[in-house]
A and B are shown apart, each in its own frame.
Chain A
Amino acid sequence: MKHQIPMLILSAVGTLLVVSVFVPSAQHWGEDATLYFDIIAVFAFFLGGGNLIRVHTEKVSHKSAGWIYSVVTLLGFGIMLVTGLFKIGNPNGIAGDLSKSGSYFQLLFQYVMSPLNSTMYALLAFYVASASYRAFRAKNTEATILLVAAFVILLGRTALGVLLTNWIPAQLSVLQIPNLAIWIMNAPNLAGQRAIMIGISLGVISMSLRLLLGIERTYLGGDS
């Protein structure tokens, strides 16, 4: 029971959606299914929120290490939820666009969430630099090829590439670094991307089939 019914739901829904692609009057099933997924996903948000509250209140009530940060998390969560759900300060009231400028929700987004998000992302610039200094080493043929390609693209995307190689005559213009960068993007890069894409699509197809046939069912708690 515990395993047959989920398997049945999975296979039925999946097969139905595969068939629906080919039958014109059923083509909207795919749309409906995605709409349903979204609504279920909202319940998942609630589940997630519930878990977040549970984990952090537990930390606070047990006064476990770093509980003060859990208070911060809960506060942030509560404030955002209240301003968003009640659309506090929204010029158009309850009917207004959630992110209408002037609403507290948008203010919190602009001054708290947005700087946090972009700064986390900006850390990447530092990590990239550190990775290029320590990790990108010509350890073997493969790594060397990767490095050379990266090198050409890096140079080609800046004015430096033009400065360095614009003395090369038109007869050999592919050797000018900006042109070489474009060539790498259009030829070998395209070939590699394509091979990866075809491989992945087959991987996805065979994985989906394994799921539909009920061979792969770890995520449902196995087949015991």
Chain B
Amino acid sequence: MIALLRVAKFVVSLCSLLFIVSFLPGQSVYSQDTASSVNNLPPITVKAYDTENDAGSSITVEWSDPGYWRREGFNGYRLSRKNVASGIEDSLDVLPTGHVLHEDRSVSDDSSYTYTLAVLINGANLTSTSTEVVRSSKQWFDNRLTWVLILGLIICGAVIYFIESAKRGTKLFLRRIAGLEAIDEAVGRATEMGRPILFIAGIQDMDDVQTIAGLTILGSIARTVAEYDTKINMPVCTSLVMTAARETIKHAYVTAGRPDAYNDDMVRYVTNEQFGFVAAVDGIMVRERPAACFLLGAFFAESLIMAETGNSIGAIQVAGTAMPAQLPFFVAACDYTLIGEELFAASAYLSGEPRQLGSLKGADVGKAIAMIVILVGVIATTIASAWNSESMLWIENLLRQMFSTG
């Protein structure tokens, strides 16, 4: 971890060095004869430099106009570029009022260039002398993301640290989550009643982490189901989820020692369309009357339809989602609800595997960091704004800089 940090720091300093080297602005003055008509204005200054934090092939040209744009007959700025080696000159673009910089993305990293800027007034060209020679280059690290990297490394480092320490056998305390304890109870009840259980992993594809979390919980539920020999029914709305869910349930049956009892039809693809799916799930609920419904994943408007229909057939319902807008309905219409982060934690809880549990503790470190930083930030901001404290303002700005997304 520390080694990584060092590498990162090295990369950062290297980048900044490269940046400084390439930052050699050229200043220019108007040639006397053409500038005579507007000689009461100072000359326009133009500088060109390699665009920062990019993948090369780009030079930024920046200029400051002392007021030519306000002149009558102003038609814009014409930017020209000269390739130093070949001597080829290109007229790049005419830019209207208001522009003070232009990113030239048609350069090659292998050549050097100079730029000139012409102010177009009533057909007359007031051309600046050319800038210093400039060459574009690619950077290996995006400087703006230094703090993102560091914070990321701290949080991920904490997660990995606790995973490792859990692997070594350190005992970890975790508070209980009510919804999880209800899962076994719900499956048990379905078995007693001889009715199926229904599992919905939300309506998003595998590119949503909530769906993946839902499926990992499915893994544990399916194991219980296989042991009790209950029927599980899972309509899905994308075929990738179908593939993953089948793998999950099949594995659970194999682990429970009953591979023959598994059947691909436990997971059915319905349709990708949200309400086409809801219509079908509603139908299944009313016709098959599952004893327990699990709604775990990413849900949208359909949450209430499913939860209400489930409620009306008297099923035990355990729901969980990280979609805040749907939580009130789950809270109201379901027996147990996993709120937000609890959904992601649930899969780790249910596995009971120390490594998984360790990762939860790691995430708690992230929360602790957030709380401490917010506390310090709020205090600094408060004192800085109410009593104009310079040092607190410095702290506030530092924190804001650290926690900016680049």
B333 interface residue, CB < 8 Å from A?
Answer: yes
Docked-complex contact B341 and A202, CB < 8 angstroms: yes
A74 interface residue, CB < 8 Å from B?
Answer: no
| Residues 129-148 (chain A) with a chain B CB within 8 angstroms | 130-131, 135-136, 146
B81 interface residue, CB < 8 Å from A?
Answer: no
B370 interface residue, CB < 8 Å from A?
Answer: yes
Residues of A within 8 A of B341 (CB): 196, 199-200, 202-203
Measured in the bound complex, the distance between the Cα atoms of B243 and A45 in whole Å is 12
Residues of B within 8 A of A111 (CB): none
Docked-complex contact B269 and A48, CB < 8 angstroms: yes
Docked-complex contact B268 and A216, CB < 8 angstroms: no
Docked-complex contact B359 and A221, CB < 8 angstroms: no
Once A44-B239, A124-B304, A210-B348 are accepted as A-B contacts, the answer to whether A25 and B332 lie under 8 Å apart by CB is no
| Residues 1-40 (chain A) with a chain B CB within 8 angstroms | 21-28, 37
Residues of B within 8 A of A23 (CB): 140-142
Measured in the bound complex, the distance between the Cα atoms of B241 and A44 in whole Å is 10
| Residues 152-184 (chain A) with a chain B CB within 8 angstroms | none
| Residues 232-274 (chain B) with a chain A CB within 8 angstroms | 238-240, 242-245, 247-248, 250-252, 254-255, 265, 268-274
Docked-complex contact B244 and A219, CB < 8 angstroms: yes
Once A41-B205, A196-B340, A216-B347 are accepted as A-B contacts, the answer to whether A22 and B366 lie under 8 Å apart by CB is no
Closest-by-CB residue of B relative to A212 is B156
| Residues 169-187 (chain B) with a chain A CB within 8 angstroms | none
Residues of B within 8 A of A199 (CB): 340-341, 367
Docked-complex contact A215 and B362, CB < 8 angstroms: no
Residues of A within 8 A of B49 (CB): none
Docked-complex contact A127 and B304, CB < 8 angstroms: yes
Closest-by-CB residue of A relative to B358 is A215
Docked-complex contact B219 and A222, CB < 8 angstroms: yes
Measured in the bound complex, the distance between the Cα atoms of B343 and A204 in whole Å is 10
Closest-by-CB residue of A relative to B278 is A120
A51 interface residue, CB < 8 Å from B?
Answer: yes
Q: How many pairs of residues, A versus B, come closer than 8 Å at their CB atoms?
A: 192
- Across chains A and B, which 5 residue pairs bring their CB atoms closest together, nearest first? A203-B344, A25-B55, A48-B239, A218-B219, A120-B275
Measured in the bound complex, the distance between the Cα atoms of B279 and A117 in whole Å is 10
Closest-by-CB residue of B relative to A65 is B287
Q: A185 to chain B: closest CB distance in Å?
A: 13
Docked-complex contact A41 and B240, CB < 8 angstroms: yes
Stretch from B36-44, B67-75, B321-329, B379-387 contacting the other chain: B321-329
Measured in the bound complex, the distance between the Cα atoms of B207 and A136 in whole Å is 34
Docked-complex contact B322 and A215, CB < 8 angstroms: no
Docked-complex contact B141 and A22, CB < 8 angstroms: yes
B22 interface residue, CB < 8 Å from A?
Answer: no
Docked-complex contact B139 and A209, CB < 8 angstroms: no
| Residues 20-54 (chain B) with a chain A CB within 8 angstroms | 53-54
B84 interface residue, CB < 8 Å from A?
Answer: no
A-B contact pairs, 14 of them (CB 8 A): A21-B145, A22-B142, A22-B149, A24-B139, A37-B207, A41-B238, A51-B268, A199-B340, A202-B370, A206-B344, A206-B359, A207-B213, A215-B353, A215-B355
A211 interface residue, CB < 8 Å from B?
Answer: yes
Docked-complex contact B250 and A221, CB < 8 angstroms: yes
Closest-by-CB residue of B relative to A149 is B328
Docked-complex contact B207 and A45, CB < 8 angstroms: no
Docked-complex contact B212 and A51, CB < 8 angstroms: no
Residues of B within 8 A of A210 (CB): 348, 356, 359
Closest-by-CB residue of B relative to A147 is B332
Docked-complex contact A206 and B363, CB < 8 angstroms: yes
Docked-complex contact B145 and A135, CB < 8 angstroms: no
Interface residue from B145, B255, B331 paired with A222 (Cβ < 8 Å): B255
Closest-by-CB residue of A relative to B348 is A210
Docked-complex contact A207 and B209, CB < 8 angstroms: yes
Closest-by-CB residue of B relative to A28 is B55
Docked-complex contact A24 and B142, CB < 8 angstroms: yes
Measured in the bound complex, the distance between the Cα atoms of B330 and A146 in whole Å is 13
A198 interface residue, CB < 8 Å from B?
Answer: yes
A95 interface residue, CB < 8 Å from B?
Answer: no
A-B contacts besides A21-B148, A24-B55, A117-B274, 9 pairs, CB < 8 Å: A37-B207, A41-B238, A113-B273, A135-B332, A203-B340, A205-B156, A213-B163, A222-B255, A224-B251
Residues of A within 8 A of B270 (CB): 52
Interface residue from B56, B148, B268 paired with A25 (Cβ < 8 Å): B56
A92 interface residue, CB < 8 Å from B?
Answer: no
Closest-by-CB residue of B relative to A34 is B207
Interface residue from B239, B279, B308 paired with A127 (Cβ < 8 Å): B308
Once A21-B145, A131-B333 are accepted as A-B contacts, the answer to whether A198 and B367 lie under 8 Å apart by CB is yes
Docked-complex contact B239 and A45, CB < 8 angstroms: yes
Q: Name the residue among A24, A117, A135, A207 with the largest chain B CB count within 10 angstroms.
A: A24
B216 interface residue, CB < 8 Å from A?
Answer: yes
Q: B42 to chain A: closest CB distance in Å?
A: 36
Residues of B within 8 A of A121 (CB): 275, 301
Measured in the bound complex, the distance between the Cα atoms of B56 and A123 in whole Å is 55
Measured in the bound complex, the distance between the Cα atoms of B129 and A184 in whole Å is 60
Interface residue from B55, B271, B353 paired with A52 (Cβ < 8 Å): B271
Docked-complex contact A48 and B242, CB < 8 angstroms: yes
Closest-by-CB residue of B relative to A208 is B209
Residues of B within 8 A of A45 (CB): 239, 272
Q: Name the residue among A199, A200, A213, A219 with the largest chain B CB count within 10 angstroms.
A: A219
A81 interface residue, CB < 8 Å from B?
Answer: no
Q: A194 to chain B: closest CB distance in Å?
A: 10
Q: Name the residue among B213, B250, B279, B332 with the largest chain A CB count within 10 angstroms.
A: B332
